[in-house]
C-alpha cells in the first residue's frame, strides 16, 4: 500500500514544481484516466492498472518517475 500515493506525489512534485496551475493540470489528466487524486491516500490499495495509468500520464508529461 502507498505506492499509488507516492507516485502521484512524485509526479506532481517533478512536473508542477510548486505551480498551482500545473498541479490542477496533472490532477485533471489523472481524472481523465479514471484516477480521483483526492481519494488516494497512503491506505489506498495499489492496483496495477492504476499504477500503469500514472506512468502513462508521467510519460505524456515527459516526467520519469523513480518509484
Residue 36 forms part of a structural domain: yes
Q: Please indicate, yes or no, if residue 52 is contained in any of the structural domains.
A: yes
The set of cell numbers assigned to 55 is 506512468
Is residue 11 included in any domain, yes or no? yes
- Residue 67: which pLDDT band, with cuts at 50, 70 and 90? confident
Q: Look at residue 67 and tell me if it is in a domain.
A: no
Q: How many domains does the chain have?
A: 1
Lookup: cell for 13: 512534485
In a domain, 24, yes or no: yes
In a domain, 43, yes or no: yes
pLDDT in tens, 20-36: 999 999 999 999 999 99
Range of the domain at 8: 3-61
Give the model's confidence band at 61: pLDDT under 50 very low, under 70 low, under 90 confident, else very high: very high
In a domain, 53, yes or no: yes
57 is a domain residue: yes
Amino acid at each position: 500500500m502507498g505506492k499509488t500515493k507516492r507516485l502521484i506525489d512524485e509526479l506532481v512534485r517533478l512536473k508542477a514544481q510548486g505551480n498551482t496551475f500545473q498541479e490542477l493540470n496533472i490532477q485533471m489528466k489523472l481524472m481523465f484516466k479514471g484516477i480521483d487524486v483526492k481519494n488516494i491516500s497512503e491506505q489506498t490499495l495499489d492496483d496495477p492498472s492504476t499504477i500503469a495509468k500514472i506512468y502513462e500520464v508521467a510519460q505524456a508529461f515527459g516526467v520519469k518517475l523513480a518509484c
